[in-house]
Structure 1
Amino acid sequence: MTEVSAIYTIKNKYTSLSAKERKIADFILEHPLDSVNPSIEELADKIGISESTMVRFAKKLGYSGYQRFRIALARETIPSNAQIFETEVNDSEDAIDTVFSNAQKTIEATYRHLDRVAVQHAAKMIAHSKRLYLAGLGGSNSIALDGYHKLIRTGLTCNYASDFHMQLMLASQAGPEDVALLISHTGVDTDTLSLAEEFRNNGCPILVLTSDNRSPLARMGDAILNVTVSTNSLVAESFSARTVSMVIIDVLYVKILEQMKDQGIENLNKMRTAIARRRM
């Protein structure tokens, strides 16, 4: 399906669409570029239909889901250089400038819009948890590993696995006294949603670190730590969102140590002493 033009497919199957689905088709055919950037929730609101109708529309066209359709649409409407950098790119602009500028803008936007109450609440939940589970898939897995590397210094019992099935096994052991930190840029990955469902079924509170606070994953969270992407992301992975997610992990680390007070400092010093023994 990915080899076939998304625009052509819409036109070819237009007569088989329902009235609501034709409303989607009309908007996309008239505004193909503007239809790529928004999330499914944002585009549904803009068109005036439900998210479920958007999903049915994509499946009727032959795609497995809306995200697959969105990627196919991006491939034929977004210039190749913009797909690389996730933002509109001037051909004369240096690649280094583009990457750094995008990261700086996302850091500034996230800093301005960060929900500090949510951050404080998340830190308190983690500091008083029995066990902390960190999980993410794809690019988000590296962020989860970074979080594990940092937060284990606090002395908290942290659990992390790189493999999805191992993550699912860990989730099956979680309970109401634990906390899960799930990381996902889009918040729509089905495997990540399965993890969230497993944690929730076991009564484990869920913290969500994401760029879309209206995503299915975000709606399952007890607290949302939101990365504000300064430019509309044109592909599933986001350079700048990954960078800023790690900054939020750093903020959480400091806030957790504040919650733990003297015990946190004592645990941190134990770690530093253990590491110092291995240095020349």
Structure 2
Amino acid sequence: MTWAGSSDAPPSARVAALAPSMQPSERRVAEAIAADIESAIDRSAQEVAEIVGVGRATVIRTAQTLGYDGYPQLRVALARELASGPMPVDESVDGSMLGALRAEVEAFSARLPQTVTALTDPQLEDFVESLDGATRVLVAANGLSAPLGLDLVLRLTAAGRPAEYLPDALGQEIAARQLGAGSVCVVISGSGVNRATLSVMTAARESGARVLAVTSFARSAVAESADVALVIPPVRGSFREELEHASRAALMLVTESLVGLVVARRGEQGRDARSATLSVLGHSLDE
């Protein structure tokens, strides 16, 4: 399986999304390139092979897995990414907690634009159309992605698109088995390999429902099992760092924005629903 996302996605985003499921030798090549883009631009395929400790053919296969014709085309894409990327962030701190916090936030914001580079218009249109037109919507999310599931349901309901979320994984699976044709199961999974979430997906598909996924890795079990998968590469850039830091900030940003697309698609109906929601909120506030 090679890169199937947007052709505009930069190499680093492609590596972040594909590396966890690459062959070990290709993964080493991809991560070595992503770790030092500037040097990779100046190196030949043979030089990269010698540094990583693989054959030249492996370097070429890696470039093709990332969606390029060969390593020369990958080098051009790397140069383009380097030229169009944000200015390097000064991560030096003054030793204070505030300085460390500022450095982390600035580094995060500099990498944030890559989160939507893997998406395409047809994917988004299919996702939003299926979500809007479903007779029933069940959201499945477990572990560290669970709060995103609840947040998405609350936002969809406020937008006039009723949805349901059960905090218990077994409850999600039971509900998924009862969805049926015309329904949709929206799966949110950062890692894309959560066992409980995969069980919910299987139950939903067996019921005849359509499965939509939001995940971080293009070749994960969740992405490959979904009817439509929106891949949001991890901001930190690698599966190891995803496991260590487990940030869901980029996924939450995208899921919140998806609700805005649903509201826009629903037109006056969506605006009326939001107006009703604001009215309820207004009555709930006190001085």
Return the alpha-carbon distance in structure 1 between the equivalents of residues 18 and 227 of structure 2.
24
CA shift for structure 1 position 46: 1.6
Matched, 1:150 2:155: yes
Deviations 1:141-178, CA, capped at 9 Å, x for gaps: 01111111211112222110111111112112211211
Q: SS where residue 188 of structure 2 aligns?
A: strand
Instruction: Give the partner amino acid of 2:199.
Output: S
Q: SS where residue 206 of structure 1 aligns?
A: strand
Q: SS where residue 181 of structure 1 aligns?
A: strand
Q: SS where residue 233 of structure 2 aligns?
A: coil
Change over 3 Å in CA distance of 1:167–1:247 after alignment to 2: same
Instruction: Give the partner amino acid of 1:128.
Output: G
Q: Does structure 2 conserve the Cα–Cα contact (< 8 Å) formed by 1:106 and 1:228?
A: no
Q: Where does residue 95 of structure 1 map in the other structure?
A: 100
Q: Where does residue 75 of structure 1 map in the other structure?
A: none
Q: Where does residue 180 of structure 1 map in the other structure?
A: 185
Q: TM-score, normalised by structure 1?
A: 0.65
**2:203 aligned residue (188, 192, 198):** 198
Alignment of 1:28-177 (within 5 A): 39-44=19-24, 46=26, 95-177=100-182
Change over 3 Å in CA distance of 1:96–1:166 after alignment to 2: same
CA shift for structure 1 position 44: 4.0
Instruction: Give the partner amino acid of 1:208.
Output: A
Q: SS where residue 117 of structure 2 aligns?
A: helix
Which stretch shows the higher mean deviation, 107-116 or 205-214?
A: 107-116
Change over 3 Å in CA distance of 1:165–1:106 after alignment to 2: farther
Q: Where does residue 258 of structure 1 map in the other structure?
A: 264
Return the alpha-carbon distance in structure 1 between the equivalents of residues 262 and 113 of structure 2.
23
Change over 3 Å in CA distance of 1:239–1:254 after alignment to 2: farther
Change over 3 Å in CA distance of 1:91–1:46 after alignment to 2: farther
- The gaps in structure 2 that reach 5 residues or longer are 1-16, 29-90
Q: Does structure 1 conserve the Cα–Cα contact (< 8 Å) formed by 2:216 and 2:232?
A: yes
**1:232 aligned residue (235, 238, 250):** 238
Q: SS where residue 126 of structure 2 aligns?
A: helix
Instruction: Give the partner amino acid of 2:154.
Output: H
Q: SS where residue 148 of structure 1 aligns?
A: helix
Q: SS where residue 164 of structure 2 aligns?
A: strand
Q: SS where residue 240 of structure 2 aligns?
A: coil
- The gaps in structure 1 that reach 5 residues or longer are 1-36, 49-88
Q: Does structure 1 conserve the Cα–Cα contact (< 8 Å) formed by 2:234 and 2:242?
A: no
Instruction: Give the partner amino acid of 2:221.
Output: P
Q: SS where residue 277 of structure 1 aligns?
A: helix
Q: TM-score, normalised by structure 2?
A: 0.64
Q: Where does residue 9 of structure 2 map in the other structure?
A: none
CA shift for structure 1 position 220: 0.9
Return the alpha-carbon distance in structure 2 between the equivalents of residues 208 and 39 of structure 1.
19
CA shift for structure 1 position 90: 8.2
Change over 3 Å in CA distance of 1:158–1:213 after alignment to 2: same
Return the alpha-carbon distance in structure 2 between the equivalents of residues 244 and 253 of structure 1.
15
Change over 3 Å in CA distance of 1:276–1:118 after alignment to 2: same
Percent sequence identity is: 20
Which stretch shows the higher mean deviation, 115-124 or 39-48?
A: 39-48
Q: SS where residue 135 of structure 1 aligns?
A: strand
Number of equivalent positions: 204
- Which runs of at least 4 in structure 1 moved beyond 2 Å after TM superposition? 37-40, 89-95, 111-117, 235-241
CA shift for structure 1 position 113: 3.4
CA shift for structure 1 position 91: 9.5
Change over 3 Å in CA distance of 1:121–1:106 after alignment to 2: farther
